Amino acid sequence: MPLSTRVTRLLGIDMPIVMGGMTGTGTVELAAAVSNAGGLGIFAAHNAGSPENCRQWIRKLRTLTARPWGVNLTILPSMQALPYDEYAKVIIEEKVRIVETAGSNPKKWIPLFKNAGLITIHKCVTIRHALSAEKLGVDIISLDGFECAGHPGEEDVGNFVLQARCSQVLKVPFLCSGGVSEGSQLAASLARAWRKTLLIDGDMRNPAAHKLFDLPLEPGFSEVLRGETDLPDAIRPTALSRLWLMSAGQWDNHAVQALAQEGVGTMFEHLKEQYDFIILDSCPVLPVADTLSLGQHVDGVVFSVLRDVSSLPAVYAAQQRLTQLSIPLLGVVVIGATGDVANSGYLYPAIKAK
C-alpha cells in the first residue's frame, strides 16, 4: 500500500524512500531495483566515468524501469577539473525528470535545471544551506545528519536535531538521511513532515518507547487489550508536535491472547480515522507470535535486521512467516551493531535459544 507524503506526491513514487547517489556502488541496476520497489532510484553521474557514459547509463536505466528515477550531480573539490557542465548538459538533453545536486553551493545548478523543467533535490547538512537552496527554488531538501554515510559535512549535527529546526523554518518538503532505523524514529520523521502520527509500542514484553518520550508506561496498549481502560485514555501527546504515543502498558498473557480477538481490528480502524499515520513498533518475529498477530491489522511491515546478529536463516524464516500470513513486506532496514553485540539484543529469557 502506498505511503502518501508531499515527497511521494511530488516525485510520483509509492514510498518516501530515496536512494543516495552512492559513489562506487550506485549503479543503474540498483537504481532500477529501488524504483521498481516503489522508491526513487538515483545514480551518481560521476559513477559512469564520463558525460557520454552517463548518457548511456540514463538510456539503460530507462530500459530497466518505467517508474520515476533520478540522477545525482555531486560537485566536490578536486585536484583535476571535472566536466560538471557537460554532465549537466547530458542530464538536460536526455530529459531526465529528477536531479539531485550535492557537494557544494547549488546556485549555478538549481536555476539551470529548474529552467529546463526538472524537479530538483539538493542534499545539504546545515540549516543555512537548506534555506539558501530554498531561496534558489529547489523543490525538495535532502537533509543529511551526521549519522548519514557519504559526505556528512563538518558540523557534526545529528539528523533529528536538523529535522526539528528545519520543520520550523523550511517551506519545501525535506528528506531525512541517517539515523532512522526504528519505529519511534520513523514516527518522529513523519510528525516532522506535518502529519498527525500515532506511535504504538506493540513490544509489550520489552517496552521502551515510553522511556524515549519520558511518559508513563501505563495505562497503555496492554490495558486497552484487556478492556481495563478506554482507548483515548491510553494515548498521550509527546513533546514533539503532531506525535502521540500509546505506550506498551503492563503486559500479561491475557493481553497477548487479546491480540487474536476481533476487537483489535475495530480498534485500528477507529484509529486510522483519527491519524494520518500509525506506526506500530513491534517485537521480533521469531521468538513470539505477537508480531504475526498484529500483522493482520497493518498495511505493511518494515523489517529490521541487526547486522552481525540476525543470521541469514533466521531472516529468511521470519520473512517466510510474514509471507505465509499474507502480511505485506514494504522493505528492510539493516541496523549496524557495535560493541558486544552478543549481549545487545532482545532478552526473552523464557524462550532464549540455547
| The three cell numbers locating residue 38 | 516503489
CA–CA separation, 182 and 105 (whole Å): 32
224 and 118 fall within a common domain: no
Name the strands in the sheet holding 69-74, side by side, starting at the edge strand that comes first in the sequence: 41-44, 69-74, 98-102, 119-124, 140-144, 174-177
Query: 352 lies in a domain?
Result: no
Q: What is the mean pLDDT of the chain?
A: 82
Query: 24 lies in a domain?
Result: yes
Q: What integer pLDDT is reported at residue 92 of this predicted model? A: 95
Domain boundary among 129, 162, 177: 177
110 and 189 fall within a common domain: no
Helix axes 84-93 and 51-64, enclosed angle (nearest 10): 30
Q: Are 200 and 268 in contact (CB under 8 A)?
A: no
Q: What integer pLDDT is reported at residue 151 of this predicted model? A: 58
Is residue 340 pLDDT above 70, yes or no?
no
Q: What integer pLDDT is reported at residue 180 of this predicted model? A: 65
> How many structural domains are present in the chain?
2
216 and 124 fall within a common domain: no
Residue 154 — pLDDT band, cuts 50, 70, 90?
low
Q: What is the pTM of this model?
A: 0.65
Amino acid at 163: Q
Query: 160 lies in a domain?
Result: yes
Is residue 127 pLDDT above 60, yes or no?
yes
158 and 18 fall within a common domain: yes
Which residue would you say has higher pLDDT here, 25 or 283? Answer: 283
Residue 25's CATH number: 3.20.20.70
Can you tell me the mean pLDDT for 68-93? 87
Per the structure, the complete domain to which residue 190 belongs is given by: 183-338
Q: Compute φ and ψ for 80, nearest 5 degrees.
A: -120, 130
Is residue 149 pLDDT above 80, yes or no?
no
Domain boundary among 177, 209, 230: 177
Residue 345 — pLDDT band, cuts 50, 70, 90?
very low
- Residue given cell 520513523 in the structure block: 186
150 and 197 fall within a common domain: no
Query: 344 lies in a domain?
Result: no
E strand residue ranges, the chain: 41-44, 69-74, 98-102, 119-124, 140-144, 174-177, 197-201, 235-237, 243-246, 277-281, 301-306, 329-335
Query: 353 lies in a domain?
Result: no
In order, the DSSP letters of 95-132 are T-SEEEEESS--TTHHHHHHHTT-EEEEEESSHHHHHH
CA–CA separation, 76 and 250 (whole Å): 53
Query: 136 lies in a domain?
Result: yes
Is residue 192 pLDDT above 80, yes or no?
no
Q: What integer pLDDT is reported at residue 347 of this predicted model? A: 37
Q: Are 234 and 224 in contact (CB under 8 A)?
A: yes
172 and 213 fall within a common domain: no
Note the pLDDT tens digit of each residue in 93-112: 999 999 999 888 888 999 99
Q: What integer pLDDT is reported at residue 343 of this predicted model? A: 38
Using a CB cutoff of 8 Å and minimum separation of 24, what contacts does 270-274 make? 270/231, 271/198, 271/231, 274/196, 274/198
16 and 151 fall within a common domain: yes
188 and 141 fall within a common domain: no
Q: Are 157 and 144 in contact (CB under 8 A)?
A: no
82 and 225 fall within a common domain: no
Note the pLDDT tens digit of each residue in 210-260: 988 889 998 999 999 988 889 999 999 998 888 999 999 998 888 888 888
Query: 347 lies in a domain?
Result: no
Is residue 147 pLDDT above 70, yes or no?
no
Q: Are 281 and 203 in contact (CB under 8 A)?
A: yes
221 and 277 fall within a common domain: yes
Residue 275's CATH number: 3.40.50.300
47 and 196 fall within a common domain: no
201 and 105 fall within a common domain: no
